[in-house]
Amino acid sequence: MRKIIVVLLLILLPFLATSQDSLDELLDQYNNESIPYISVTELSTIESEVILLDAREVNEYNTSHLKNAIHVGYDHFDIDTVYKQNIDKKSKIIVYCSLGIRSEDVSEILKEAGYNNIYNLYGGIFEWKNKDHKVVDSDENETDKIHAFSKQWGKWLHKGKKIYKK
């Protein structure tokens, strides 16, 4: 009986993990807030004064990203990618991903490397688009498309055209 319960939990856990009622609950489940959040509203007022790092995979970034964002990735993130950009360690850096989960992990690596003015975009590019802000494609043209990563995570994107391509 115990084995059956364990197997059922293992099967159902991925579905339970994304059944939160609010973005706060979702981020509380995955993040430890070791990096402070910055809201979409706050970022929109200082966007030209910060370094934006996109912690999503290249196919997500190429679909759309915040204007002037630098792609650093997640699965194969390498701090040397940031070093090659010659970003001053005192610069205000905003890291984002789809929702703000992967970006916290990348931000923690940046913090360990000595960057000390780092923020995690609360709700990521999904929240950015949900609040009617513009995104651009790989040619820097405005687009309505957002890579929604998966059907489970895509439920958090309410505006724009969801793309799921690999």
Q: Each residue of 77-120: pLDDT tens digit?
A: 999 999 999 999 999 999 999 999 999 999 999 999 999 999 99
Q: Kindly state whether residue 81 falls inside one of the protein's structural domains.
A: yes
Active-site residues: which are they?
A: 97
The CATH code of the domain that includes 147 is 3.40.250.10
pLDDT digits (tens, 9 = 90+) for 145-160: 999 999 999 999 999 9
Examine residue 113 and state whether it is found in any structural domain, yes or no.
Answer: yes
Show the 3-state SS of the chain: CHHHHHHHHHHHHHHHHCCCCCHHHHHHHHCCCCCCEECHHHHHHHHHHCEEEECCCHHHHHHCECCCCEECCCCCCCHHHHHCCCCCCCCCEEEECCCCCHHHHHHHHHHHCCCCCEEEECCHHHHHHHCCCCEECCCCCEECEEECCCHHHHCCCCCCEEECCC
Q: Considering the entire predicted model, what is its pTM? A: 0.86
Answer whether residue 41 is part of any domain: yes
* 1 located within any domain: no
The answer to whether position 127 is within a domain reads yes
Domain assignment present for residue 158? The answer is yes
Residue 152 located in a structural domain: yes
Structural domain for 138, as ranges: 20-163
Q: Is residue 6 part of a domain?
A: no
Beta carbons within 8 Å of 20's beta carbon, 6+ residues apart:
26, 29
Query: Domain tally for the chain?
Result: 1
